[in-house]
A = this chain, B = another copy of it.
Amino acid sequence: MPRRFRPDALTALGTRIFEAVGAPSDIAGIVARSLVDANLTGHDSHGVLRIPHYVERVRDGRVRPAVRPKVIEDRHAIGVVSGEWGFGQLAGRLAMDDAVRRAQEFGVGAVGVVRCNHFGRMGEYVERAADGGYVGLVWVGGLGQRAAVPHGGRRPTLGTNPIAVGFPVDGEHPVVVDFATTAVAAGKIMVARARHVPLPPGCIVDRDGRPTTDVEDFYAGGALLPAAGHKGFGLSVAAELLGQALTGADAIQDAPGREAVHGHSGALFMALDPGGMRPAADAKAQARRIVDRIRGIPPADGVDRVRTPGDPEVESRRARAGGFELPDATWSAIVECARSVGLRDDDLPQPA
């Protein structure tokens, strides 16, 4: 039976676990807060479920828990951030902040990220830009490994290659678009497996490239399908070109303890000044009119009301602020992970 936990208790636990494997306190806190915030926004696939995975990656040398990212190229509106194989959350924050700084000076900024690990929920970074009053865009190429078949293909060769867009809105939360270019994100499959439920049709193929809904077929050599056939596939190819070929991530040769394919992943972070083409206040006011107009559309049968991108996350944050449930399998894995890094059982939070 699922147990309910308070977000601050999970953040504290995650922080202690990451500290125990070598992360300085501030880095451990940033990563733990990022994962708990993913749960709060309703994206359990990118939430505390990942704590044991991150610890495993520290142990096998793929994540260097104490390093900090740095800007390694700086040319007008263009930059490159090296994540230095540290936690992706730090590289993502620096990349978006650097893109925003360039957008402040030039109107638009584009920053590549190389030597990166899992960023967590990509919506976090475009939301960060939009909360600061800027438009944010992200394209991630190859970081989800080679999990997806191309449109019309039988074997996987593309990552889940997510894209995200954030836009500030007058007087309320920003629009946040954030999705994998596959029909489902890999993390959603982890959630379905933990809950022992099948996937909807059109999400995965088995090891022979045949459509299936059984999650275990995915883990037995299966693969993800692109969203909307050639459209999701096109976005995925664009994400790999922008995240990897443009940034130079493919040329990185110093990936620690990992297969080449993962070490060659990268991302493109872009920011735009909403005041670059018109007064910024007018851009945000029009954004408000657009979301209000869309929300005013009568809902289809079986739908309570029309939501704009970012609304479900805000509703989830409100609903989960006092605590949220974790499936038994997720909590057991976190407990085991905590014990393995030396925490005692009375360090673990009690269900709320």
Write the residues of chain A forming the contact surface with B, with a CB cutoff of 8 angstroms: 73, 75-78, 80, 105-110, 112, 135, 149-155, 157-158, 165, 167, 175, 177-179, 183, 205, 209-210, 227-228, 230-235, 237-238, 240-242, 244-248, 250-251, 270, 272-274, 276-278, 282-284, 286-287, 289-291, 293-294, 297-301, 303, 305-309
Contact = CB atoms under 8 A, between A and B. Distances in A.
Contacts of A151: 306
Nearest to A226: B228
B238 A165 contact: yes
A306 to B, nearest CB: 5
Nearest to A177: B234
A307 B246 CA distance: 21
A167 B245 contact: yes
A153 B291 CA distance: 13
Given A77-B77, A306-B152, A277 B247 contact: yes
A294 B105 contact: no
For chain A, what secondary structure do more than half of its interface residues adopt (helix, strand, loop), or is it mixed? Answer: mixed
A159 to B, nearest CB: 12
A287 B137 CA distance: 21
A179 B78 contact: no
A286 B246 CA distance: 9
A245 B157 contact: no
A167 B235 CA distance: 12
Give 8 closest A-B pairs by Cβ, nearest first. Answer: A78-B107, A248-B278, A177-B234, A228-B228, A153-B297, A245-B286, A78-B276, A165-B238
Contacts of A178: 234
Nearest to A307: B152
Contacts of A238: 165, 167, 175, 177, 309
A326 B286 CA distance: 42
A107 B75 contact: yes
Contacts of A248: 277-278, 282-283
Nearest to A245: B286
Contacts of A80: 277
Contacts of A183: 228
A5 to B, nearest CB: 28
Nearest to A167: B241
A272 B109 CA distance: 10
Contact of A152 (B235, B270, B299): B299
A278 B300 contact: no
A213 to B, nearest CB: 17
A227 B210 CA distance: 22
A20 B305 CA distance: 50
Nearest to A273: B78
A149 B233 CA distance: 23
Contacts of A237: 175, 177, 290-291, 294, 308-309
A274 B245 CA distance: 8
Given A76-B107, A152-B306, A155-B297, 20 more contacts: A76-B106, A77-B77, A78-B107, A78-B108, A108-B108, A149-B300, A152-B303, A152-B305, A155-B298, A175-B237, A175-B238, A175-B241, A179-B231, A179-B234, A237-B290, A244-B286, A245-B274, A246-B276, A248-B283, A251-B278
